[in-house]
Structure 1
Amino acid sequence: MHDLTQGTIPKHLISMALPMMIGMLIQTLYFIVDLYFVGKLGPAALAGLSLAGNAMFLIFALTQILNVSTAALISHAVGAKNQNDANITFNQSMMVSTVVGVVVCIAGYLGAQPYLDLISKDAETVKMGLAYLHWFIPCMALQFIMVSISSALRGTGIVKPTMVIQTLSILLNIILSPILIAGWGSNHAMGISGAGLASSISIIFAVALLCYYFKTTDKYISVDFSLWGINLTRIKKLLAIGLPAGGEFFLMFVYMGAIYWLIKPFGAEAQAAFGLGSRVMQALFLPAMAIAFAAPAIAGQNFGAQNYQRVKETFRWTALMTCSLMAIISLICLTQAELMLSNFSDDQEVILISVAFLQMICWNFVPAGLVFTCSGMFQALGNTMPALLSTATRLITFILPALWLSKQDNFLIEQLWYISVATVCLQALVSYHFLQREFKKRLPADNLSTKCSDELINNKFHS
C-alpha cells in the first residue's frame, strides 16, 4: 500500500502514471499491429473490426461501473486507514465481476448479429465483424476480473504489478496477431478471426498471472471467499458511484454507434476510415489518459484523509499535464496525420477520409484532456453523476444537429467532425463548471484555509 497523502502531488502523478503510460504505449503498439494486419485484408475487414470493436465501449461502460467505484471506495478506506472496509469492497467487486462476466459472454454470442446488422448495410462488413466477435467475446467477458483487480490495487496506490502483467499480455497479443491473422510460421491464416483469438488468449494469460500474483504476494487487500456473499449495502455503494461512470461510457458507445449509423450511406470505405482514425486517436490519447487515471487514487486518498487542499492541487497538476500532452498530440495530428495512417490500408479513399478526420478532430484534444481530468476528480470525490451529465450534454448537442444535417441533400461527412469539435468544447466547459460546484460542496472552505495557513507557517518556520 502506498500512502498518497504525503509527498508532492506531481511526483505521485508521475510515479503512478509512468508504469501505466508504458503499458498504454505498448497497448498502442498492439492497436497498430492489429490495424496493420487487418487493414491489409481490405476495407470490409477494417470496417468489420471497427464496428465490432465499438462493442468494447459497451463493455467499458459495464467495467467502468466496477473500475471507478472499486478504486474510489478502496482509496477512501486506505486514506481512513480502514483495511477491513477495503477488503469488503474488493471481494464484493470480484464477486460481481465474475457474475457479470458470465452474463456478458452469453449475451455477446446472442446479440452480435443484431448489433452489426443495425449499424452496417454491407453484408461483407457484417460477416467480418461476426468472425472477429466470435473469438473476441471471451476477451470481453474476462475484462471484468481484470478491472476489479487492477482498480483495487490502484486504490491502494499500487500500479506496477498490474501494468507489468498487462504489458506481458499485450506483448503476447502482438506476437500472436501476425501468426494467427496472416499465418506467419504456421501457414494457416485465420484472417480477422485470428485478431479476436489473439486477444482472448492474451487476456486468459493475464488473468492467470494476476491470480498467481494474489496467491503468492502479501497485499493490503486479498481474495477472501467468505466475503463473497451478497452484501447489498456494499453493492449499493459500488453502484451509486459506478453507475453514472458506466453510463458515461454507455453514452460514448451510443455516440460512436450513431456516427457509424450516420455515415452508413457513404459506404464501407467511410466506416473503415472512421474506425481507423478513431483507433489511432484513442492510441494517441493513452499517455494523457495515464495521467488522468492516476489522479483518482491520489485525490481519493487525500479526500478520505480530509486533506482537501491536496485534492484541489491534484486537479491543477493533472489538468496542466493532460492538456499539455493533448496540445502536443494535436500538433502531431495536424502535421503528420497522413504519415501515421498511410501504412494501415492500401485503399486511398480510406486514407484520405481518415486523414481529414484526424486533422479536424484534433482541435478537440485539449478540451478532451480537461474532460478526462474532471472525470477523474469526480471519481475521487465519490460522485460521478456530473461526468454522466456532461457526457449526456455532448451526446444531445451532437446527435440532434447531426441527424438534421444527414437529411439534407448537401450532407458531407466532414460536417460531423465540426459538430464533434464544438460539442467536446461545450462538454469541457460543463465538466469544469460541475467540478467547481463539487469542490464548493465537498471540500469545506475552513479546512482549505486551515491547510493553507499551516503550509505557510511551516514554510516560514523552515525558511
Structure 2
Amino acid sequence: MRSYIQSIQKYLGYFWIAVTGKESEFTSGSIRKAIFMLSVPMILEMLMESIFALVDIAYVSQVSVNAVATIGLTESVVTLIYALAIGLSMAATAIVARRVGEKDISGAKEAAVQAIALGILISLLVGVFGFVYAKDILSLMGAEPDLIAEGYGYTKLLMGGNITIMLLFLINAIFRGAGDASIAMWTLVLSNGLNIILDPLFIFGWGPIPEYGVMGAAIATNIGRGSAVLFQIGILFFGWSRIRLALKDLVLNIKVMINLIRVSLGGIAQFLIGTSSWVFLMRMMSEFGSEVLAGYTIAIRVMLFTLMPSWGMSNAAATLVGQNLGAKKLERAETSVWKTGKYNAYFMGLVSIVYLLFAKDIVGWFNDTPAVIENGGLCLQIIAAGYIFYAYGMVVTQAFNGAGDTGTPTRINLIAFWAFQLPFAYLAAFYFNLGAIGVFMAITLAEVLLAVISIFLFKRGKWKSFQV
C-alpha cells in the first residue's frame, strides 16, 4: 500500500513538472518518464482542442440542422488548409527536434523563422480565395441553396481567417520540437478557453453583440485563435522557450527554407491525400441528406475527442524520435516508439468499449433527431471497432515524420486512402447499396490497413538513416 501511494506521489510530481515545462532533457534517462513528460502536455493540449470541438457543435446544434451540416462541409474543406499547416508543422518539428538533439539552438531558430514565413505566405493566398468564393465552395460540396444562404458567412470568415489556424499549428510545432510541449498546451488553453466563452455570445447574441447564428462560431474561433497566436509570438520573443527569437533572427535563409520545403512537401502531400479523401467522403455523405450528414458530423466531432489525446501521444513519439536521432541514440528512438504505441493502444482500447456500448446515447446529447442519432451512433460504433489499430498507426506514422521521413507515410496514405478507402466507400455505399454504413466501414478498414503497412515498414528501420 505504501509503495502504491509513493508511486502515485511520484507521478503527480512528474505531472506538475510536465505541465510547467521544467523538464527539457529527453535524450537520456528513463524512456517511460520522457514519454510521460512529453505526452501529458500534448494530451492536455489536444484535449482542449477536442473539448472546444464538442462545445462548438453543441452550441451550433441549437441553431439548426443546416448549421451543423454547414460546419461539416466547411471543415471538410478547411482540412485541406490543415494539411498545409500540419505538413509544414511536421517539417518544423522534425528539423527543430533534430537541431535541438544536436545542441544546435541557432539552427533550430533559423528553421523556426523560415517555417513561420512560409506559413504566413500560404495562409494569405488561401484566405483571399476562401473569403471571395465561400458560396461556390459550399455549392461544390453539394450543399442545398437554403444551407448555403444560412451558412456561407461561417465558411467565408473561417477560411478568410485561416492565418490564425496556420500560425497556431506552426508555432506550437516549433515549441514541441524544442521539447517545450507545455507552452503549446497553455497556448491552446488560452485559444479554446476564449472560444468556449465567446461562442454563445456571438452565436446567440448578448447585450450589444447581435445574434450571428452559425457565423458567430467563426467569429469566436478567429478571435480565440488570433489571441493565442499573439501569445505565442510574445513567448518566442520574450518568454521562456528554448527557441527564443530576436529581431536579428528575422532573416530569410534560402538554404534552410529549401530544406524545410523539401521535408514539408512529403508531409503536405501526406495530409492532402488524407484530407482530400475526407472531402470526398463528406461529399458522398451529402447524398444521404442533411440528417445523415449531421449525424456523421457529430460522430466525427465526438471521435476527435479521443483521437486528439491519442494524437498528442503520437506527437510525443515524433519529438522523441527527432531529438534522439539528433543525439545519435538510434535504439532509444525506436524503443520510444514501441512504448508510446503500447500506452496509446491501452487508452484507445478502453475508449472503444465506451463507444461500442453508449454511441447513440452520446450522439443524443448533441441532437435529439432520431435519424441523426441513429446514423451518428452507428458511425461511432463502426469506427471504434478499429481504435486499437488507429493507436499504433498514428504513433508509427508520426515516428516517421519525427525522423523527417515524411515520404514513407505519404506513400502509405496513398495506398490506404486513395487506392483503398475511396473506391471501397463508393462501391459499398452506392453499388452494393449499403448507404452510409459503406462509408463508415471504409473509414475503419482503411485505418487498419494503414497501421499494418506502417508497422511493417517501421520494422525495416530505414528511417534511422534519414537526414534532415
Displacement after TM superposition at 1:411 (Å): 4.0
Q: Which SS does the other structure have where 1:346 is aligned?
A: coil
| Mapped partners of 1:81, 1:121: distance in 2 | 52
Displacement after TM superposition at 1:217 (Å): 2.4
| Comparing 407-416 and 90-99, the one that deviates more | 407-416
Displacement after TM superposition at 1:192 (Å): 0.2
For residue 433 of structure 2, the aligned residue among 389, 410, 416 is 410
| Mapped partners of 2:281, 2:79: distance in 1 | 14
| Alignment partner, residue 337 of structure 2 | 315
| Mapped partners of 2:348, 2:239: distance in 1 | 37
Aligned residue pair count: 443
Task: Output one character per residue of 1:402-442: Cα deviation in whole Å (capped at 9) or x when no partner.
Answer: 333444373422122223222221111111122122x1463
**Contact 1:139/1:203 (CA < 8 Å) preserved in 2?**
no
Provide the TM-score with structure 2 as the length reference.
Answer: 0.90
**Contact 1:139/1:199 (CA < 8 Å) preserved in 2?**
no
| Mapped partners of 2:242, 2:186: distance in 1 | 19
| Alignment partner, residue 179 of structure 2 | 157
Displacement after TM superposition at 1:179 (Å): 1.2
Q: Which SS does the other structure have where 1:383 is aligned?
A: coil
Displacement after TM superposition at 1:297 (Å): 1.1
Task: Output one character per residue of 1:179-219: Cα deviation in whole Å (capped at 9) or x when no partner.
Answer: 11122555732110110000001011111212222332254
Does 2:449 align with 1:426? yes
| Alignment partner, residue 260 of structure 2 | 238
Give the alignment of 1:223-372 within 5 angstroms: 223-372=245-394
| Alignment partner, residue 228 of structure 2 | 206
Does 2:145 align with 1:126? no
Task: Output one character per residue of 1:277-322: Cα deviation in whole Å (capped at 9) or x when no partner.
Answer: 1111112212211111111111111101111110111111111011
Give the alignment of 1:47-58 within 5 angstroms: 47-58=69-80
Q: Which SS does the other structure have where 1:263 is aligned?
A: helix
1:416 aligned partner, one-letter code: V
Give the alignment of 1:88-237 within 5 angstroms: 88-184=110-206, 188-237=210-259
**Contact 2:88/2:267 (CA < 8 Å) preserved in 1?**
no
| Alignment partner, residue 436 of structure 1 | 459
Provide the TM-score with structure 1 as the length reference.
Answer: 0.91
| Mapped partners of 2:240, 2:193: distance in 1 | 27
Which runs of 5 or more structure 2 residues have no equivalent in the other structure? 1-22
Question: Given the superposition, is the C-alpha separation of residues 171 and 21 from structure 1 closer, same or farther in structure 2, using an over 3 Å criterion?
Answer: same
| Comparing 195-204 and 214-223, the one that deviates more | 214-223
For residue 399 of structure 1, the aligned residue among 414, 422, 447 is 422
Q: Which SS does the other structure have where 2:365 is aligned?
A: coil
Task: Output one character per residue of 1:140-197: Cα deviation in whole Å (capped at 9) or x when no partner.
Answer: 2222222232111211111112211220221111011111112255573211011000
Question: Given the superposition, is the C-alpha separation of residues 207 and 138 from structure 1 closer, same or farther in structure 2, using an over 3 Å criterion?
Answer: farther
Residue identity over aligned pairs, in percent, reads 22
Question: Given the superposition, is the C-alpha separation of residues 45 and 336 from structure 1 closer, same or farther in structure 2, using an over 3 Å criterion?
Answer: same
Question: Given the superposition, is the C-alpha separation of residues 127 and 252 from structure 1 closer, same or farther in structure 2, using an over 3 Å criterion?
Answer: farther
Q: Which SS does the other structure have where 2:386 is aligned?
A: helix
Displacement after TM superposition at 1:63 (Å): 0.6
Question: Given the superposition, is the C-alpha separation of residues 184 and 218 from structure 1 closer, same or farther in structure 2, using an over 3 Å criterion?
Answer: closer
RMSD of aligned alpha carbons: 2.0
**Contact 2:131/2:160 (CA < 8 Å) preserved in 1?**
no
